[in-house]
């Protein structure tokens, strides 16, 4: 009977009977957490130990101790809370552990500041879809040791008064902020992660540190010139979402994913530029470069925030400017930089809420609803410059096309919220679903746009922000890593039958290799912006490229301004044999017919 009583009371008594029960419980929990973390994520710790020879033993041990004490300090702050609030905080902590471990199981890393920034700025649908795509039931197995250790913090006595809580929390809170700032300034973002919670806190604080170190001033201004008359042509810049160039039959893919686009090419209304190299494997980074013409990775001089945007140039040349962003990709950044006021050079903008106000249900129409809006504008007037961030094929791909027999060309397909399965059978469903999405969101989009537009004096420059892995090498993630297949995107120009600058398109040289970095000057040429008005040195326009150019096409993945984790790579010429190539998996139904 006595042994049972001692066993039942061991944990509460052990913490309460020490001279400093809260500090003791925090240290014990921190030690157990790091031990559990080192077992479950042993590969990361082996990589961490490899840094000892680079950084030196003393510096390595100092950093390790600094991060370990972060875990203890965070746990100590939890013990200061009154019991009901402590339970709520620990439940939220369990949620964060599950999110972090899901992220780690998918991407082999905890969230970075860039990842957290995206999670806070993308649309709610994308946020939910991302969580579901990362989630796997085995995460509960990995989370269990962390949860058990966190439960130990329930037994520590709480502070008796609010004043005591505030007084005792100042030093550990200050330590967490100061130590994370030291890591932000001196240590690579991917190094020294000992616990999912302190890793998340580090990402959150680094996100704020990055914001305060980033340029927030006005953009460079263009020279004053006489107002230009409204042009007779319209120019549309379509930046799609998650479209892999090598999955378009326009680029040699063995399935007929883009039959309408191929018919336009046969009629001389489409100039295919082949597989383009995206600026980044992240949407917001690619868009930052595409809209400002910056050409150096990473953007340590904040040129993506200082350069005039493409809207500035379009406005100078007399175009009426419109930004349609139904994907919440870059419009948010422009509006925030403008203090939620007018964006310079931009006459008006539309987002998904605008379409709802117009009674256009994009969940039903998908990107065809956007195509109809563009057609209606072009049919009413000329002289538009329209930049479009489409919904495209963001995972889950099953939501990118209607659930009707005409749209489900290749089967079997994934279920609506099914996670990525990198097995052969899983990949067959994944690729079938993706190809159906391309046929609808890309090919049918252009069918709707071209056939619905009666005013034929226009050109459309089309690309995508980045591609997708399609689990080609067993990846459970779709993008946001430096894999070469992620920067495989399409690029082509569609022109109306009465486009007034067709001779410019006809002059594109043979055998050229294109990059996102060439697009800005291409748009300036299509607008006929004089060299005297161009305030920056941009990469060559597509119209100026030769077969000898772009032997190296660089791209980056990670932190836009280089504060956190990032990598810069390039696609060389000749490229690897499997780059820019994609193949169906298995023999989906209708392969023979299409």
Q: What is the CATH number of the domain that holds 535?
A: 3.40.720.10
Q: Is residue 195 part of a domain?
A: yes
| Beta-sheet strand order (sheet of 234-240) | 270-277, 488-495, 458-464, 234-240, 384-389, 320-325, 348-351
The per-residue pLDDT for range 228-278, each reduced to its tens digit, is 999 999 999 999 999 999 999 999 999 999 999 999 999 999 999 999 999
- State whether residue 495 is helix, strand or coil: strand
Give the angle 234-239-245 at the CA atoms, nearest 5°: 120
Do 209 and 238 lie in one domain? The reply is no
Rounded distance between C-alpha atoms, residue 426 and residue 591, angstroms: 18
> Which tokens go with 55?
């950084």
The answer, yes or no, to whether residue 1 has pLDDT greater than 50, is no
Torsion of the alpha carbons at 94, 100, 105 and 110, rounded to the nearest 10: -150
The answer, yes or no, to whether residue 2 has pLDDT greater than 60, is no
Do 174 and 289 lie in one domain? The reply is no
- State whether residue 3 is helix, strand or coil: helix
* Strands 488-495, 458-464: pairing kind: antiparallel
> Which tokens go with 215?
């340029």
pLDDT at position 46: 83
- Of the candidates 213, 429, 189, the residue with the CA atom closest to the CA atom of residue 305: 213
Do 189 and 291 lie in one domain? The reply is no
The per-residue pLDDT for range 442-497, each reduced to its tens digit, is 999 999 999 999 999 999 999 999 999 999 999 999 999 999 999 999 999 999 99
Do 453 and 371 lie in one domain? The reply is yes
The answer, yes or no, to whether residue 9 has pLDDT greater than 50, is no
The answer, yes or no, to whether residue 133 has pLDDT greater than 80, is no
Q: Is residue 165 part of a domain?
A: yes
Q: Is residue 583 part of a domain?
A: no
The answer, yes or no, to whether residue 593 has pLDDT greater than 60, is no
Rounded distance between C-alpha atoms, residue 346 and residue 583, angstroms: 41
Q: Is residue 440 part of a domain?
A: yes
Find the range with the poorest average confidence among 27-36, 99-108, 195-204, 529-538.
99-108
Break the chain down into helix, strand, coil percent, rounded to 5.
50, 10, 40
pLDDT at position 263: 99
Domain-terminating residue out of 179, 213, 247: 213
Burial letters 556-573, b for 16+ CB under 10 A, else e: bbbbbbbbbbbeebbbee
Residue 435 CA to its chain's centroid (Å): 21
Q: What's the mean pLDDT in 200-225?
A: 94
Do 206 and 243 lie in one domain? The reply is no
563, 180 Cβ separation under 8 angstroms: no
Domain-terminating residue out of 532, 550, 568: 550
Neighbours of 505 (CB within 10 A): 19
Do 436 and 493 lie in one domain? The reply is yes
Domain count, the chain: 2
pLDDT tier for residue 7 given thresholds of 50, 70 and 90: very low
Q: Is residue 175 part of a domain?
A: yes
The per-residue pLDDT for range 350-401, each reduced to its tens digit, is 999 999 999 999 999 999 999 999 999 999 999 999 999 999 998 999 999 9
pLDDT at position 124: 60
The answer, yes or no, to whether residue 52 has pLDDT greater than 70, is no
Do 270 and 209 lie in one domain? The reply is no
Q: Is residue 476 part of a domain?
A: yes
The per-residue pLDDT for range 490-527, each reduced to its tens digit, is 999 999 999 999 999 999 999 999 999 999 999 999 99
Domain-terminating residue out of 180, 213, 246: 213
Rounded distance between C-alpha atoms, residue 425 and residue 247, angstroms: 19
pLDDT tier for residue 5 given thresholds of 50, 70 and 90: very low
Do 238 and 154 lie in one domain? The reply is no
* Strands 458-464, 566-572: pairing kind: unpaired
Do 337 and 301 lie in one domain? The reply is yes
CA-CA distances (angstroms) from residue 219 to 302, 307, 345, 431, 437? 10, 6, 11, 42, 38
Find the range with the poorest average confidence among 133-137, 297-301, 385-389, 567-571.
133-137
Rounded distance between C-alpha atoms, residue 221 and residue 306, angstroms: 9
Q: Is residue 219 part of a domain?
A: no
Do 421 and 478 lie in one domain? The reply is yes
Burial class (CB in 10 A: 0-12, 13-18, 19+), 3: exposed
The answer, yes or no, to whether residue 8 has pLDDT greater than 70, is no
pLDDT at position 590: 66
| Domain assignment of residue 372, given as a range | 234-550
Do 307 and 384 lie in one domain? The reply is yes
- The gap between the terminal CA atoms of the chain, to the nearest Å, is 77
Do 285 and 402 lie in one domain? The reply is yes
Q: What's the mean pLDDT in 283-311?
A: 97
> Which tokens go with 575?
């490229």
Q: Is residue 300 part of a domain?
A: yes
Mean pLDDT of the residues in the chain:
92
């Amino acid at each position: 009977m006595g042994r049972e009583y001692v066993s039942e009371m061991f944990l509460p008594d052990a913490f309460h009977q020490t001279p400093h029960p809260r500090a003791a419980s925090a240290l014990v929990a921190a030690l157990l957490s790091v031990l559990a973390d080192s077992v479950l994520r042993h590969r990361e710790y082996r990589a961490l130990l490899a840094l000892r020879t680079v950084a030196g033993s003393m510096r390595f041990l100092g950093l390790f101790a600094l991060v370990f004490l972060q875990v203890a300090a965070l746990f100590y702050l939890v013990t200061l809370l009154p019991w009901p609030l402590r339970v709520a905080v620990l439940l939220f902590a369990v949620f964060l552990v599950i999110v972090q471990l899901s992220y780690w199981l998918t991407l082999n890393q905890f969230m970075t500041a860039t990842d957290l920034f995206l999670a806070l700025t993308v649309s709610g649908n994308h946020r939910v879809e991302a969580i579901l795509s990362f989630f796997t039931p085995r995460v509960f197995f990995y989370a269990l040791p962390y949860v058990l250790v966190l439960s130990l913090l329930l037994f520590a006595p709480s502070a008796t008064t609010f004043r005591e809580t505030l007084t005792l929390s100042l030093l550990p809170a200050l330590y967490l902020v100061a130590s994370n700032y030291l890591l932000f300034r001196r240590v690579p973002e991917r190094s020294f992660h000992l616990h999912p919670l302190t890793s998340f806190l580090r990402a959150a604080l680094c996100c704020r540190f990055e914001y305060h170190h980033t340029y927030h001033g006005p953009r460079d201004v263009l020279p004053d010139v006489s107002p230009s008359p409204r042009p007779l042509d319209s120019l549309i810049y379509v930046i799609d979402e998650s479209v892999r160039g090598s999955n378009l039959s326009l680029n040699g893919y063995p399935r007929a994913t883009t039959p309408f686009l191929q018919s336009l090419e046969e009629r001389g209304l489409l100039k295919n530029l082949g597989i383009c190299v995206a600026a980044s494997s992240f949407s917001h980074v690619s868009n930052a470069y595409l809209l400002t013409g910056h050409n150096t990775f990473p953007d340590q001089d904040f040129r993506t925030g200082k350069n005039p945007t493409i809207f500035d140039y379009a406005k100078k040349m007399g175009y009426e400017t419109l930004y349609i962003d139904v994907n919440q990709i870059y419009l948010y950044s422009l509006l925030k930089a403008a203090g939620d006021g007018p964006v310079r050079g931009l006459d008006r903008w539309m987002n998904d809420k605008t379409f709802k106000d117009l009674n256009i249900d994009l969940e039903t129409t998908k990107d065809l609803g956007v195509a109809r809006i563009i057609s209606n504008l072009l049919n009413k007037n000329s002289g538009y410059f329209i930049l479009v961030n489409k919904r495209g094929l963001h995972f889950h791909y099953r939501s990118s096309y209607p659930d009707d027999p005409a749209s489900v060309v290749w089967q079997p397909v994934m279920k609506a919220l099914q996670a990525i399965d990198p097995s052969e059978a899983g990949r067959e469903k994944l690729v079938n679903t993706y190809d159906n999405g391309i046929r609808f969101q890309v090919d049918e989009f252009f069918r709707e746009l071209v056939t619905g537009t009666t005013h034929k004096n226009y050109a459309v420059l089309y690309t995508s922000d980045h591609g997708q892995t399609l689990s080609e090498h067993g990846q459970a993630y779709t993008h946001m890593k430096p894999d070469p297949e992620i920067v495989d995107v399409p690029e082509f120009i569609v022109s109306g039958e009465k486009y007034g600058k067709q001779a410019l398109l006809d002059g594109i040289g043979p055998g050229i290799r294109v990059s996102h970095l060439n697009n800005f000057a291409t748009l300036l040429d299509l607008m006929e912006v004089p060299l005297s008005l161009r305030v920056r040195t941009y990469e060559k326009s597509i119209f100026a490229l030769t077969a000898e150019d772009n032997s190296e096409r660089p791209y980056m993945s990670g932190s836009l301004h280089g504060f956190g984790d990032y990598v810069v790579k390039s696609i060389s010429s000749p490229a690897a044999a499997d780059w820019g190539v994609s193949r169906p998996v298995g023999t989906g139904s209708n392969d023979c017919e299409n």
